[in-house]
Amino acid sequence: MSEIQSTSNELEFPQQSQLEEMMHDVIVQAQKLGADGVEAGVSIDAGLSVTVRLGETETLEYNRDRGLGLTVYFDHRKGSASTADFGSASISATVQAACDIARYTSTDPCAGLADAGRMASVIPDLDLYHPWQLDVDQAIDLARDCEAAARAVDDRIVNSEGGTLSSYTGMRVSANSHGFLGGYRTSRHSLSCSVVGQQGDEMQRDHWYVSTRDYRDLPLPVEVGRMAGERTVRRLGTRRLSTRQVPVIFVADVARGLFGSFISAIKGSSLYRRSSFLVDHLGKQVFPDFMHIHEQPLLKKALGSAPYDSEGVATGARDLVLDGVLQGYVLDSYSACKLGMETTANAGGVRNLTIDPGDKDLPGLLRTMDTGLLVTELIGFGVNVLTGDYSRGVAGFWVENGEIRYPVDEITVAGNLRDMFMGMVEVGNDVDLRGNIRSGSVLIEQMTIAGA
């Protein structure tokens, strides 16, 4: 087995062919030790992160991580092991450890590789790799410009948690004993800022961030900083609200959490354990009939894109909800086996979950709501996937006659996800593309709000 040598250039990666050779050798070694199924993966990540606070460089970090992991099966008995040492002796010891573990585990009829016929045979180029040749001085200047723009928004900006620029690249190669072998490189670049505002004795904090595969798609640092400052200032002067039932809008970046809870409820592990309020809902109405929720894992440059899942199964576009009706679950091969179904290529989660937007922007949704609560921040945890009960601390704005009147905080919103999903009135066209769930703001017909 050839070894990957260290290099003086911290951002230099080995050739993909070297990692592919390593994966091949790992599988052969495990098979020689008696494994009837083997899957392995290797990853290398490198990056730079800089934070500037109050105009001075506060942190400067270089990261370089690597790891190799494998899982082996001996007649449906599973063993896993991993290492960060790519030396031949260490890798051989890791393979031996995984095999030793498998010999002592219990037999599970569903433990094993995904079906051979579902393996990705073609790895499309999804345009996910855009390295940024960024030196430290440039990174510091960009982070400083971002923070300076936020602090210049208003005299009431009195402190800062800093402006941060991060740039990461990575390479992953996966293989299994079905003959699957795939790999690709990725990049991710982000810019963020968080500042503190004060009005009298009241202090508020808010932030803004952007994240892209291609650094050329990042907005100017001053735009990110200005947004962070404006968001902070508009939160000053908060009031409380009495208990009432009103329409609620979750802004786009917060609405993602609602659909994350939906995915948790239709995930295979929740379903075969019967610990979800959406057990046995396949083919049933779970959203209003205008709702279309689907996966788009092969979008170019998107943050959630991947040509195959973590088991090597080829990904592809599919509907989860069409006309409000649940079309499919989120399954890996193990949960699919437990349910007597087939994998949906979701080992590792959903990829670019997309909620089709309507034709109104956020101001249009506010006018439709007329009077109610605009939620811009969620606080704490309070989602029960078993029952669907939902209760979260929130901050946001009170809206009257379609216009924002004043900021509010120290309140809670409560309801049940079943009713909240069916009570969705519209999805805005202000789609947030900064994550793996792509949604606009969401207007819900009615929820209970109460002072905290």
pLDDT tens digits, one per residue of 273-289: 999 999 999 999 999 99
Please tell me whether residues 186 and 138 are part of one structural domain.
yes
Residue 227 lies in a domain: yes
Interatomic CA distance for residues 314 and 269, integer angstroms: 21
User: Shortest CA distance to 426 belongs to which of 382, 389, 372, 352?
Assistant: 372
| 249 and 365 in a common domain | yes
Residues 284 and 407 both lie in one domain: yes
Q: Are 113 and 341 in contact (CB under 8 A)?
A: no
Starting at the edge strand found earlier in the chain, the sheet holding 202-212 runs 77-83, 56-74, 37-53, 157-176, 181-199, 202-212
**What is the identity of the amino acid at 302?**
A
Please indicate, yes or no, if residue 325 is contained in any of the structural domains.
Answer: yes
Q: What is the pLDDT of residue 76?
A: 95
- Record the pTM: 0.93
Q: How many domains does the chain have?
A: 2
Query: Which helix (DSSP H) or strand (DSSP E) does residue 450 occupy?
Result: strand 442-451
- The pLDDT assigned to 1 comes to 37
Pairwise CA distance, residues 355 & 292, whole Å: 6
pLDDT score, position 451: 81
Q: Of 197, 212, 233, which marks where a domain is finished?
A: 233
pLDDT at 452: 56
Crossing angle between the packed helical segments 136-151 and 221-233, to the nearest 10 degrees:
30
The count of other CB atoms within 10 Å of the CB of residue 183 is 19
Q: Which residues of the chain have pLDDT under 50?
A: 1-11
Q: What SS3 state is found at 439?
A: strand
Q: Is residue 161 part of a domain?
A: yes
Residue 71 and residue 213 in one domain: yes
Which residue range(s) make up the domain with 218?
A: 16-233
Structural domain contains residue 8: no
Question: To which residue do tokens 């937007």 refer?
Answer: 357
| pLDDT given for residue 335 in this prediction | 98
From residue 285, alpha-carbon distances to 150, 188, 295, 321 in Å are 45, 37, 19, 9
Domain end point (choices 206, 233, 260): 233
